Structures are given as structure tokens and as C-alpha cells.
Amino acid sequence: MKKALLLSLAAFCLALLLPNLLRRTAVRPVVAAPALRPESETASPAGPDGSVTVTLLHDGEVLTLTMAEYLPGAVAGEMPASFAAEALRAQAVASRTYALRRAGQARSRHPQAALCDDPGCCQRWLDEEQRRALWGAEYDRWAAAVEAAEQDTDGAILVSGGEPILACFHASSPGRTESSAAVWGAALPYLVSVDSPESAETVPGFVTEAVFSPEEFRAAVLDAHPAAGLTGKPETWLGQRVTDAAGRTALLQVGDAALTGTELRQLFSLRSAAFTLEWTGESFLFTVTGSGHGAGMSQYGANVMAAEGASWQEILAHYYPGTELGLMA
């Protein structure tokens, strides 16, 4: 009786673990540096991107797409198609890697599909109709650009320890990217702070401002930190600001509460955690530099690097140090 019970328990555990084990095996890459495909040669439908399928939740519908079909929509959704070809290729590899890793993880927000089109969960994805609306008369030109980025890097992914990395990316950084430890509290060896070359001359809206009345500011802070106080005059509410190695706000004393820069960014919908905050005498003024969480590849930084002659491989090696290029299995 005891032996039968143990055998039943073992079979039950195996049934639970087997789907995850199979999924993990399916995304294991073969480490090898892919060469750039000649411009005149197109990807074979039987190549890596044409052989791997993903499910995508898009506008409430579950689509089954090959990676070759999925990736142009992801690149179009995440990076301006007018960027330099090498930047688009770097984005294609980052988006492919990110999608592959996300597809192999638990997905409580959309259990019916491996990926979704929400950039707050997975990454933005545009279908053909959306791309036509975005590009208008320039559709053929920009469609060819994003399709070439997929084809020229067919199957290429970023690997660390034999597995696809968390290839996150963001729009722009104020001189340096951010570490994953600073953003999410989890240190990854390839998501560390590195120099990034973009500036106000190369990024539209590089510096932005956000203004809040004392009532708006107080309500937002107290909603998250009821014990913060903020009972005196507004000019007394702000205390010491601590910055991290990347120049972003790490901690800011607001009344009786210490808030992280990431939390303040979320509370006030700021473009990044690289901000200063001051009381002007009438309102609270955030001056914000860059856009996004700051970890991984800076897309505008990648475009500057490409304009200066860097290859997509060099761009990826810079923003994800210590990783290797691999091919999807």
C-alpha cells in the first residue's frame, strides 16, 4: 500500500514537471556566432525563425506565429523603423531573445498564450494594419527595414549560462544605463550600468518636466505612504536625495517616508527615475532625463553607436556585457 502510494505521488509530480522540462529543452540554444546574411539573400522559411512558433495574445485573440512572422511586428512596435540598420538588427536580436525567454516562463496574466502585445508585460507588437497606419505612404520602406532586421539576424539570440538572457531594453539613458539590481532588486551579471552615448542632440524630448500642485503631490504620496505626514508647509516636505552610480534617484526623503526613485517614477508617471525634484514656491517640479527603466540596451544609444560605425554585435556586447551570441535550437 505504501509503495503504491509513493509510486502514485511520483507519477503526479512527474506530470506536473514534464511540461516545464519540455518547454525548457525547446528553447535551449546552440552557442555559435551567426554571420550577417548578405543583403541580397532572404531568410529561408526553414531557418530558425521560420521553424519556431509562438502564441501571441493580440487584441483579445490568440495568434500562432512563426518567429519570422512575429519579430517584424515586435521591432516595429519597440523601435522607430527609421533607425540605422545596425540598431534595428540589435533590436531584433534583443526582441527575439526577450520573446524566447518570456515564452518559457509562467504567464499568469495571459495563460492562454506565451506572449502578449502589452509592453508592460511582454513587448509591444503591431500587426500589418497597425504598421500601415503608423507608416502611411512610407509603409513599403519601413516594412522592408524591419523585415531585413529579422532576416539578417535569423535565429540569433543572446545567451548566458546556456540560456536566453533577460534582454530588456529602454528608450534612452542620461549618460549611463541602470543595473537590474537598482531597478528590480535582482542582480544579473549582464544587466549592469554601462556608458550610453545619446544626448539632447540625438533624442527628441530627452529632458521633460512634470508639474504637480501641493494637493496633487500630497495625495499621491499619502496614497502609497499614509504615514508620510506632509502636514507642514510644502517647502518642508522634501528631504535628502540620494543618487546611484548611474545618476538616477535611488532614494528621496518625502516627509516621514523614504521613497525610491522607481516608486516615485510610478507614482507620478515620470518618463524615468533620472530626475530632480524641487518646490518652486507654487508647485512641485520634476525635471526628468531619458525615458524608460534604464536597464539593458538603450535604443537611442544603440542608434548613436550604429551611426558611429558599430555593428549590431558590438552594440549588443556593449549593453549586455559577458553574454554570448547563440542560435535558437
Whether residue 230 sits in one domain with residue 270:
yes
13 or 148, which is more confident: 148
- Cα–Cα dist 74/146, whole Å: 9
Q: What pLDDT was estimated at residue 29? A: 39
**What is the span of the domain harbouring residue 239?**
207-289
Q: Which residues lie below 8 Å from residue 142, measured CB to CB, with a gap of 6+?
A: 76, 81, 82, 131, 135
Residue-wise pLDDT for 85-128, tens only, equals: 999 999 999 999 999 998 877 666 788 899 999 998 899 999 99
Whether residue 321 sits in one domain with residue 278:
no
Residue 13 lies in a domain: no
Whether residue 213 sits in one domain with residue 159:
no
> What is the overall mean pLDDT for the chain?
87
Residue 177 lies in a domain: no
- Cα–Cα dist 139/72, whole Å: 13
Whether residue 113 sits in one domain with residue 37:
yes
Question: How many structural domains is the chain composed of?
Answer: 2
* Cα dihedral 188, 203, 146, 30 in deg (nearest 10): -20
Whether residue 131 sits in one domain with residue 52:
yes
| Site of grid cell 544626448 | 199
Q: What is the pTM of this model?
A: 0.83
C-alpha cell of residue 179: 543595473
Whether residue 133 sits in one domain with residue 46:
yes
Residue 199 lies in a domain: no
What's the DSSP call for residue 172? Answer: B
Q: Comparing 10-14, 105-109, 227-231, 253-257, which segment has the lowest mean pLDDT? A: 10-14
Whether residue 216 sits in one domain with residue 149:
no
Whether residue 323 sits in one domain with residue 277:
no
- Cα–Cα dist 180/169, whole Å: 11
Residue 302 lies in a domain: no
